[in-house]
Amino acid sequence: NAGVTQTPKFRVLKTGQSMTLLCAQDMNHEYMYWYRQDPGMGLRLIHYSVGEGTTAKGEVPDGYNVSRLKKQNFLLGLESAAPSQTSVYFCASRIHYEQYFGPGTRLTVT
Amino acid sequence: KNEVEQSPQNLTAQEGEFITINCSYSVGISALHWLQQHPGGGIVSLFMLSSGKKKHGRLIATINIQEKHSSLHITASHPRDSAVYICAVRNNNDMRFGAGTRLTVKP
């Protein structure tokens, strides 16, 4: 099993550009999460999904959209990137009480 | 004030020392998690606790629900234990994370 994978690993965007981050898991987990990690701060939940076709807002959802069209994939979209969205983004999936994290995507918005 | 506070922020130890990292939280929880973030950035789950104590190898995690406090202990620390240790509390699908404790173990 590949576990949780994220695409891309690195990306540089200009302000106003859009992009989609892909998270894929092959463990048949129902729950999936998108987090951002900023220096000196803990991980913060952006959006999450409790199953295919469902999404919900987390702690810091503004400026992001998500979709869960297939159970194995959870997409995070930035419609108009801003420098404040420069961060490392982690995806995770969960079964029961244990979360499995992806390797992260480092995004820089200039 | 953050909902999850960890102390210390940074910790340097000599190989073989006993390590304690503390986590206090101010919200109701269904579970508390300890995570390890490697220098390369990858995050792995170490423990999930809802009560009492758990042990895995040289790592021990405890939680006191009444005092809203958890500790992570590392016995006989080793340089490979150098990482950031993150405390997270969960209430249903909502997870809140501490800022992490950066541990450096010197040989």
Instruction: Single out the residue of A96, A55, A58 nearest to residue B31, CA to CA.
Output: A96
State residue B1's pLDDT score: 63
On the question of pLDDT at A92 being above 70, the answer is yes
User: Is residue A41 within 8 angstroms of chain B, CB to CB?
Assistant: yes
CB A58 within 8 A of CB A45: yes
A97 in B contact zone (CB under 8 Å): yes
Terminal-to-terminal C-alpha distance of chain B: 36
Query: Is the pLDDT score of A97 beyond 80?
Result: no
Which residue among A40, A88, A97 sits closest to B99, beta carbon to beta carbon? A40
Using one digit for the tens of pLDDT, what is the confidence trace for A5-19? 999 999 999 999 999
Q: What is the mean pLDDT of residues A82-105?
A: 93
Chain A 49-88, residues with CB within 8 Å of chain B CB atoms: 50, 56, 58-59, 88
pLDDT digits (tens, 9 = 90+) for A43-67: 999 999 999 999 999 999 999 999 9
> Does residue A90 register a pLDDT over 90?
yes
Residue A74: both structure tokens together: 């959870």
Q: What pLDDT was estimated at residue B91?
A: 86
Task: Please tell me if residue B39 touches chain A, with a CB cutoff of 8 Å.
Answer: no
**Chain-wide mean pLDDT for chain A?**
94
Q: Most distant CA pair in chain B: distance in Å?
A: 41
Side-chain half-sphere exposure of B34, counting CA atoms within 13 A: 29
Reply yes or no on whether the pLDDT at A1 is more than 80.
Answer: no
Measure in Å the smallest separation between the Cα of A101 and chain B Cα atoms.
Answer: 6
pLDDT per position as a tens digit, B3-54 = 999 999 999 999 999 999 999 999 889 899 999 999 888 899 999 999 999 9
Tens-digit pLDDT profile for residues B47-80: 999 999 999 999 999 999 999 999 999 999 999 9
Minimum distance, in Å, between the CA of residue B33 and any CA atom of chain A = 8
